[in-house]
Structure 1
Amino acid sequence: MQLHRGRLIDHIQLVVRDLTASETFYTAVMSVLGIPVLRPGDGYFIADELTVSAADSPTSSGELTGRHHLAFQAKDRETVDAFYKAALENGGRDNGAPGIRAYHPGYYAAFVLDPDGNNIEAVFQGDATRNVSSVTLDF
């Protein structure tokens, strides 16, 4: 594992009903994205800055987290497509098939619901924004 500094988010934790189902789902989609899933202790697993734990894990407060939207970066459109396929084959439900979105030019994404109903997205922002440190979007 590598600790990253200078990002907006240090980590995100999801507390889930069925840790086994979530581990199956996240291991499949993270493998497509090239992110290892580790289980350093009982009751939880980690993938980069994402921690997923059971309600009775020492890493949680005993309460399930609410519904969240997490968007993971993909290296290209093919990875978004593979993410979507892996998610549906491993307990995810369709929430938006891969395709161009109107958010801004080049935004190619797929959306799935994880076993707890979280909206999980894989997005490729297009070649135009890949090598820029900041992008201004008009809303």
Structure 2
Amino acid sequence: ETYLLHRGRLIDHIQLVVNDFELSKAFYQAVLAVLEIPIINTSDDYFWADELVVCSVKSEGSLGKPTGRHHLAFQAKDRETVKAFYHTALTHGGRDNGAPGERTYHPGYYAAFVIDPDGNNIEAVYHGEAERSTHAVEIRFNL
């Protein structure tokens, strides 16, 4: 069995410890599907989606404490995907924290923000037309 990761950015992974695992799992499954980010491993109290790990406050590694409020931004391939992320999030337990639109961070920055079921500020952003040197760096672990 091979496990595939995409790397090349600053952050190795982010872990969110959530109070209601089933509610958060449904929320992230929905919004990650819109963003075309597959959930690659799941159990009764955690799941992985590339660099994101979400686990239950009841899981062994969480020590019984949620992580608190975080800001997490997912890359979107275009403006339509940002809009789809926002509407999907709102219908799966998310709350509005900034409707889709251009922001002043840099020209072409188009984003939407939602609050997930545990109060984390989750963003989808499209940075505008750009040329990449490569789509992603692939790392294959043989398990």
Q: Same fold (TM over 0.5)?
A: yes
Q: Which amino acid aligns with 1:117?
A: G
**Structure 2: gaps spanning 5 or more residues:** 134-143
For 1:46, the equivalent position in structure 2 comes to: 48
Q: How many residue pairs are counted as aligned between the two chains?
A: 131
2:83 and 2:113 map into 1 onto residues whose CA distance is: 10
2:84 and 2:7 map into 1 onto residues whose CA distance is: 29
Confirm or deny: 8 A CA contact 2:72 2:122 kept in the other structure: yes
1:24 and 1:80 map into 2 onto residues whose CA distance is: 19
Q: CA deviation at 1:38?
A: 3.8
Q: Which amino acid aligns with 1:95?
A: N
For 2:114, the equivalent position in structure 1 comes to: 112
Confirm or deny: 8 A CA contact 2:46 2:56 kept in the other structure: yes
Confirm or deny: 8 A CA contact 1:75 1:124 kept in the other structure: yes
For 1:17, the equivalent position in structure 2 comes to: 19
Confirm or deny: 8 A CA contact 2:41 2:49 kept in the other structure: no
Q: Normalising by the residue count of structure 2, what TM-score does the alignment of the two structures yield?
A: 0.86
Q: Which sits farther off after the overlay, 41-50 or 70-79?
A: 41-50
For 1:125, the equivalent position in structure 2 comes to: 127
CA RMSD of aligned residues (A): 1.4
Structure 1, residues 10-42: CA drift from partner, whole Å, max 9, x if none? 110000000011011100100000011244322
Q: How many percent identity over aligned positions? A: 67
- Structure having the higher strand fraction is 2
1:75 and 1:6 map into 2 onto residues whose CA distance is: 17
Greater RCO, 1 or 2 (C-alpha within 8 Å, sep 6+): 2
2:42 and 2:69 map into 1 onto residues whose CA distance is: 25
- Out of 96, 99, 104, which is 1:97 matched to? 99
